[in-house]
Amino acid sequence: MLLFIKKAGFILLVFISISTIISFGSLWSLRQSSFYKPSFLVNNVLEKEFDYIILGASTGLTTLNTRVIDSVLHTNGLNLSMDDTALSSQHLMLEHFLAQGKIVKFCVVAPSINDYDVKSNVLSGNDYRFLPYINTSYVSNHYNRYSSQSAKLLYGSKWLPILGVSYYNTEIFYPSLLALINPKKRNRFDEKGNYGYPNKNAKSRSITEFKELPISFQNIYLEKISDLCKLNNIKLICYFSPINAKKVVTETDDYTILNHSDLLKNTSFFYDDIHVNYKGRQISSEAFANDFKLMIK
């Protein structure tokens, strides 16, 4: 019996050791790559100074095309938006951006519109993409703020990386193999961080009525982003992307707002109710450029 326990313990130790080595390797591989936005920013974005950055969820990612904006204004912008993230994630991305020693004049936040009023923040679905940087204080502190199982596993990866890598094996381990083969491969975004949804064969229908959607800016992470911007002499802009048949209504002087929620007047410009397609992105980006031009003068 004692011999069996020793052999079982030895096998378990070997398994844990190999798994730990693989986990360290997976995080190292992603850290050297451009697969996800956090490592893309570190490894593929060589410029130090930018005129503006876009921090957002899928709406910011797919609505504002920095290529179009820069072609109109002759500026240098970068889209750091990630799908399935919240204002807390965008605060983390701003911390990550500044930690690389980069400088920007304007920070455009473009989260999911309802996220502006979220009172109880939770770990976002794609926050695991910061896991390769778990040994930085701002990433580990971000995970440590939440009580969910996934957050605890991510935070525990600071000491045992197997926890986060095994839990997010599809999102971490397999991409790390792709990154090992091709470090320059990106996960659905171009070299300026942009991504768009295709035009669908939806019927073209004029939008004549817009239901009002009041926003009161209750999410504490918007204030945290604002404070971080002020600390680094960055001007903050809150952007509201187009929504199908809805119009955002705000009453505040606390933030600079660019409201394009009712910009698009036809359903043919939408991929779904909250995301624009290629055609809608072109119009939205041009409109943003024209309005942004007045702010940077």
Q: For residue 62, which amino acid is it?
A: T
For residue 176 the two structure tokens come to 């790390």
* Tokens 């893309």, located at residue: 40
- Read off the pLDDT of each residue in 145-149 and give the average, rounded to a whole number: 96
Which of these, 11, 9, 43, 12, lies nearest to 29 by C-alpha position? Answer: 43
Element holding 20 (H helix, E strand): helix 2-31
Q: Does the reported pTM lie above 0.75?
A: yes
Cβ count within 10 A of residue 122: 15
Mean pLDDT estimate for the chain: 93
pLDDT at 6: 61
Query: pLDDT tens-digit profile of 3-52?
Result: 656 665 655 565 566 778 889 999 999 999 999 999 999 999 999 999 99
Residue 150's Cα: distance from chain center in Å?
A: 18
Q: Which of 224, 209, 254, 34 is nearest to 111 (CA)?
A: 224
Query: pLDDT at residue 217 above 90?
Result: yes
Handedness of CA 56, 62, 67, 70 (dihedral sign): negative
Backbone phi and psi for residue 258, each to the nearest 5 degrees, phi listed first: -120, 105
pLDDT of residue 17: 63
> Taking a C-beta distance cutoff of 8 angstroms, is the pair 32, 181 a contact?
no
Percentage, residues of the chain above pLDDT 90: 88
What are the angstrom distances between the C-alpha of 248 and each of 86, 143, 163, 240, 258? 18, 31, 41, 8, 11
CATH architecture, domain 49-152+190-296 = 3-Layer(aba) Sandwich (3.40)
What is the reported pLDDT for 181?
95
- DSSP character at residue 51: E
The pLDDT value given to residue 8: 59
| pLDDT for residue 86 | 97
Q: Assign 216 to helix, strand or coil.
A: coil
* DSSP state at residue 203: P
Strand ranges inside 61-171, DSSP E? 77-79, 103-110
Domain ranges of the chain: 49-152+190-296
- Tokens 């096998």 label which residue? 11
